[in-house]
């Protein structure tokens, strides 16, 4: 008698909503000998699109499962993904000088709490080389002092994404703006973190501005990068309470903590295929 090896799959499906979708999908899975262990769905009123995320245990291999799912995918013209649960996604991290987000991402990764592998950290400054080195991640710095430097940086970025088969690019306090061409080339693959206040502040030193204005909450927003700067679909937001006694330095320290935990949370959901795009919005299956 032989042991049976179960594979554990995660499937995401997006299509125009209509009757019979769930039945067709679950039928295909049953045909492949699959047992659904997790299932979430959502229909977006605004766009009329249907979103589904499934986890499935099955003895079927990828080819066998795909063979059963493809007719359904084609019938409903679905965007879809099929992946092994827990496979670390190939992630490129871009940084500048501030290390708090990079430190949290690499610590969580090394502690087994974040399903990513990081073939490279890229930066426009040499400062964070040691931090990457501590976690044994290659680090590549390219100074950016001019528009042509930035062009070279972005060319290298595109090259790296291709060479390392990067699935996710994380701007972890990367202080340069990507060109519309790069945003288009990497659409849906790049996320960013920035501070968030009520009201919002523009320009330099936002924590000093927040202090001068006496805000009572400070926070952070993780979002997809589009060529509409800081305006891509939001993945996660957090805030914490502060008061009049918080100095600008304290606000900055508290705010950085929110930035790193919010970005790490967003990366974690992406790694588990829990984030789907619905036009300018995200659907997050927690």
Q: Pattern of binders to a second copy over 162-201, x per CB under 8 A?
A: ----------------------------------xxxxx-
Report the 10 Å Cβ neighbour count for 18: 10
Q: Under the criterion CB under 8 A, does residue 205 sit at the interface with a second copy?
A: no
What minimum distance in Å lies between the beta carbon of 30 and a second copy?
A: 4
Q: Under the criterion CB under 8 A, does residue 18 sit at the interface with a second copy?
A: yes
Token pair, residue 38, equals 């997790």
Burial 72-86 (b: 16+ CB within 10 A, else e): bbeebebebebbebe
CA-closest candidate to residue 95, choices 184, 9, 196, 169: 169
Q: Under the criterion CB under 8 A, does residue 64 sit at the interface with a second copy?
A: no
Q: How far is CA 39 from CA 13, 112, 173, 280, 285, in A?
A: 11, 24, 34, 24, 9
What minimum distance in Å lies between the beta carbon of 235 and a second copy?
A: 8
Q: Under the criterion CB under 8 A, does residue 126 sit at the interface with a second copy?
A: no
Q: Pattern of binders to a second copy over 211-240, x per CB under 8 A?
A: xxxxxxx-x-x--------xx-xxxxxxx-
Spatial separation of the C-alpha atoms in residues 40 and 37, rounded to whole Å: 10
Q: How many residues at the interface with a second copy, by CB under 8 A?
A: 57
Spatial separation of the C-alpha atoms in residues 188 and 192, rounded to whole Å: 11
Of 93, 121, 263, 283, the one binding a second copy (CB under 8 A) is 283
What minimum distance in Å lies between the beta carbon of 1 and a second copy?
A: 21
- Give the pairing of strands 168-171 and 281-284: unpaired
Spatial separation of the C-alpha atoms in residues 87 and 21, rounded to whole Å: 27
What minimum distance in Å lies between the beta carbon of 267 and a second copy?
A: 16
149 catalytic, yes or no?
A: no
Nearer to a second copy, 101 or 122 (CB): 101
| Catalytic member of 230, 243, 249, 278 | 230
Token pair, residue 183, equals 């945003």
Nearer to a second copy, 57 or 149 (CB): 57
Please, what is the Cα angle at 130 between 160 and 96, to 5 degrees? 55
DSSP run (H or E) holding 37: strand 35-43
Burial 130-143 (b: 16+ CB within 10 A, else e): ebbeeeebebebbe
Token pair, residue 160, equals 């790296």
Of 23, 87, 145, 258, the one binding a second copy (CB under 8 A) is 23
Q: Under the criterion CB under 8 A, does residue 37 sit at the interface with a second copy?
A: yes
Mark the segment that binds a second copy (CB under 8 A) among 117-125, 143-151, 170-178, 275-283: 275-283
Phi-psi region of 214 (alpha: psi -120 to 50; beta: other; left: phi over 0): left
Mark the segment that binds a second copy (CB under 8 A) among 30-38, 117-125, 126-134, 153-161: 30-38
What minimum distance in Å lies between the beta carbon of 161 and a second copy?
A: 26
Q: Which residues are catalytic?
A: 230
Please report, as ranges, the residues that interact with a second copy according to CB under 8 A: 17-20, 22-23, 26-27, 29-30, 33-46, 196-200, 211-217, 219, 221, 230-231, 233-239, 243-245, 247, 278, 280-284
């Amino acid at each position: 008698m032989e042991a049976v090896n179960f594979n554990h799959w995660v499937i995401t499906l997006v299509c125009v909503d209509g009757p019979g979708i769930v039945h067709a999908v679950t039928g295909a899975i049953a045909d492949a000998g699959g047992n659904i262990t997790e299932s979430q769905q959502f229909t977006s009123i605004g766009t009329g699109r249907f979103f589904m995320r499934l986890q499935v245990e099955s003895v079927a291999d990828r080819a066998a499962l795909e063979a059963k799912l493809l007719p359904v995918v084609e019938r409903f013209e679905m965007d879809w993904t099929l992946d092994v649960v827990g496979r670390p996604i190939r992630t490129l991290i871009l940084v500048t000088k501030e290390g708090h987000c990079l430190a949290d991402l690499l610590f969580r990764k090394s502690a087994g709490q974040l399903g990513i592998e990081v073939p490279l950290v890229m930066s426009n400054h040499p400062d964070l080389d040691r931090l990457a080195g501590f976690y044994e991640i290659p680090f590549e710095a390219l100074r950016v002092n001019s528009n042509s430097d930035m062009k070279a940086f972005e060319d290298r970025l595109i090259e790296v994404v291709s060479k390392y088969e990067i699935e996710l690019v994380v701007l972890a306090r990367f202080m340069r703006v990507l060109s519309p061409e790069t945003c288009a080339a990497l659409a849906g693959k790049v996320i960013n973190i920035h501070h968030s206040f009520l009201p919002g502040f523009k320009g330099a030193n936002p924590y000093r501005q927040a202090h001068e204005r006496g805000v009572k909450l400070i926070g952070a927003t993780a979002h997809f990068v589009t060529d509409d700067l800081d305006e891509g679909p939001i993945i996660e937001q957090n805030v914490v309470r502060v008061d009049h006694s918080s100095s600008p330095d304290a606000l900055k320290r508290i705010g950085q903590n929110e930035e790193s935990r919010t970005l790490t949370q967003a990366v974690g959901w992406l790694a588990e295929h829990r984030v789907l795009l619905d036009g300018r919005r995200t659907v997050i299956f927690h």
